Structure 1
Amino acid sequence: MQSDHGSGTNLLESFRDIDSWIFDLDNTLYPRHIDLFAQMEVKMNEFVSNLLGLTLDDASHLRHSYYKQYGTTLRGLMIEHDIAPDDFLEYVHDIDHSVVEPDPLLGQALCSLPGKRYIYTNGTKDHARKVSERLGITDYFDDVFDIVWAGLEPKPNRTPYERLLEQTGINPSRSAMFEDLARNLQVPDALGMTCVLIVPDQMRDVFHGRWEAESTQVPYVHHVTDNLGRFLSDVLEAIGRGAPNTPVRA
């Protein structure tokens, strides 16, 4: 397993054959300290509270139980309460995106990656668009696959990953998946993808919640970094694609 950016150049040379790059959105393309999810948590608690007549504390507890059981709060609400998804998705993603700052290094690195680049998120396309615009990376992706496209079936379920491969025609053995949740890399690893875990700044373990806590020393995490832009820059150097400030588009 490659630990962080800047070391293990020989290991990074394994990216030489990658021609499809798939990125999660939240806490992956932007750093965790931006904390957009904190805003979404507030909105989700409000939605559940208003829907079911619960206190915000009770709504938060129920939402977390649905997240653990079903993969997303939305899926839990659909299964347990038969809600229509559109209102939930619109309400939850109506947040302040201005806290996301441009990331020129990430943009230059993405632009230089050989092959195709995709976003695959449990969020919405509109949310992905707003985040990408703030980061300054909108033009560097060939397509965005969101929770609606996935038939509201979230990661880490296998079906959407298989659908992604079928629709894009990409070869999983020539693909890399970037995620901030280790459990979401299990299926990509099983499908043959190279898997990169994005962890919080200066951290080496995933600690989103005690129930999710797990070491990065698991077989489906092949590389770990706390800075995506620098990691991709190191990859480009290792595979001989040149400096990211001289982008090459294959």
Structure 2
Amino acid sequence: MAKPVTERVMADDRYIVWLDIDNTLYTRSSRIAELMIERIHAYFLSMGFTDDDAHELHSKYYTQYGLALRGLMKHHNIDALDFDKKCDGSLPLEDILKPDPKVRKLIEDIDRSKARVWALTNAYSTHANRVLRVLNLSDLIEEIFYCDYSSPDFSCKPEPSFYAQALSTAGVTDPSKCLFVDDNLNNVRAAKSCGWGHCVLYSEREEDHSMSEHPKVEGVDAVIGNLQELRELWKQVFQVVP
């Protein structure tokens, strides 16, 4: 099982592949994101907000802080672990998500003599590990750098401090060795602005496209519609097929 990081790892000069988890390692068609929005909205309603106020605050906090939970903690002093239990923890992941052999093979084919593979998520450790387990990817992810909801002032993507803490914890001394993929544009741009080497926006598409067909997006190195395109973008860390 992938391990949430609890202490700093010794410096390592290999590349490090940072994989976002939600809506990156599984498809948006699973509707996990929509189910999460419904649960967060219900949480706002349980606090006594009207339907309109709940929608407004949810959008405001997500936009301002990267997570609605951050706004709730800053302005309403809620219990983050209770929020996590009622929102992430109540998702029927086992009934919805299925392992994708192609994604597993993609991660398997990363040459571990050249690169480490870590997860970088705004979720808490319990949700991150649960998703990886359901997707049958736990054994391929070395460590998880996650949002520590148990801390009253945790950081998250896209805050620069989150990326700095991730580098420090992973023992990364050269951020140009970081290869990062995420489905959120702000998160990818933030990593790039922190000096990370190659930052990719994953914008899922049902049909196959070549990378040349993807639009250019300011502040990111590449846009992909299929995770398999990482084989070409990051060929320096993939095993050479005879």
Q: Is the CA contact (8 Å cut-off) linking 2:14 and 2:116 kept in structure 1?
A: no
Aligned residue pairs: how many? Answer: 216
Q: Is the CA contact (8 Å cut-off) linking 1:110 and 1:232 kept in structure 2?
A: no
SS at match of 2:23: coil
SS at match of 1:25: coil
Q: Is the CA contact (8 Å cut-off) linking 1:34 and 1:100 kept in structure 2?
A: yes
Q: Distance in 2 between matches of 1:192 and 1:239?
A: 16
Q: Is the CA contact (8 Å cut-off) linking 1:24 and 1:121 kept in structure 2?
A: yes
Q: TM-score, normalised by structure 1?
A: 0.78
Q: CA deviation at 1:202?
A: 4.5
Match of 1:116 in 2: 116
Match of 1:156 in 2: 158
Match of 1:103 in 2: 100
SS at match of 1:119: strand
Unaligned stretches of 5+ in structure 2?
1-12, 208-213
Q: Distance in 1 between matches of 2:117 and 2:155?
A: 22
Pair 1:199 & 2:194 matched? no
Match of 1:36 in 2: 32
Match of 1:145 in 2: 145
Task: Give the direction of change, closer, same or farther, for the CA distance of 1:49–1:240 in structure 2 (3 Å limit).
Answer: closer
Q: CA deviation at 1:239?
A: 6.3
User: Which residue among 159, 183, 187 is the counterpart of 1:184?
Assistant: 187
Deviations 1:18-44 (A, max 9, x none): 721001111111122212111111111
Letter in 2 for 1:227: N
Task: Give the direction of change, closer, same or farther, for the CA distance of 1:18–1:50 in structure 2 (3 Å limit).
Answer: same
SS at match of 1:122: coil
Q: Distance in 2 between matches of 1:192 and 1:146?
A: 18
Pair 1:62 & 2:57 matched? yes
Match of 1:46 in 2: 42
Q: Distance in 2 between matches of 1:242 and 1:100?
A: 30
Q: Distance in 2 between matches of 1:169 and 1:108?
A: 27
**Larger relative contact order (Cα-Cα within 8 Å, sequence gap ≥ 6):** 1
Q: Distance in 2 between matches of 1:68 and 1:116?
A: 31
User: Which residue among 215, 239, 242 is the counterpart of 1:241?
Assistant: 239
Q: CA RMSD in A?
A: 2.6
Q: CA deviation at 1:147?
A: 1.1
Task: Give the direction of change, closer, same or farther, for the CA distance of 1:71–1:239 in structure 2 (3 Å limit).
Answer: closer
Q: Distance in 1 between matches of 2:158 and 2:125?
A: 18
Q: CA deviation at 1:242?
A: 3.0
Deviations 1:153-191 (A, max 9, x none): 221100010011111112311110101111111232121
Task: Give the direction of change, closer, same or farther, for the CA distance of 1:181–1:240 in structure 2 (3 Å limit).
Answer: closer
Q: CA deviation at 1:221?
A: 1.4
Deviates more, 1:132-141 or 1:194-203: 194-203
Match of 2:8 in 1: none
Q: TM-score, normalised by structure 2?
A: 0.80
Pair 1:173 & 2:176 matched? yes
Q: Distance in 1 between matches of 2:57 and 2:71?
A: 9
Deviations 1:99-126 (A, max 9, x none): 1111111111111213211111111111
Match of 2:4 in 1: none
Q: Is the CA contact (8 Å cut-off) linking 2:216 and 2:222 kept in structure 1?
A: no
User: Which residue among 87, 96, 117 is the counterpart of 1:92?
Assistant: 87
Identity %: 27
Unaligned stretches of 5+ in structure 1?
1-16, 204-214
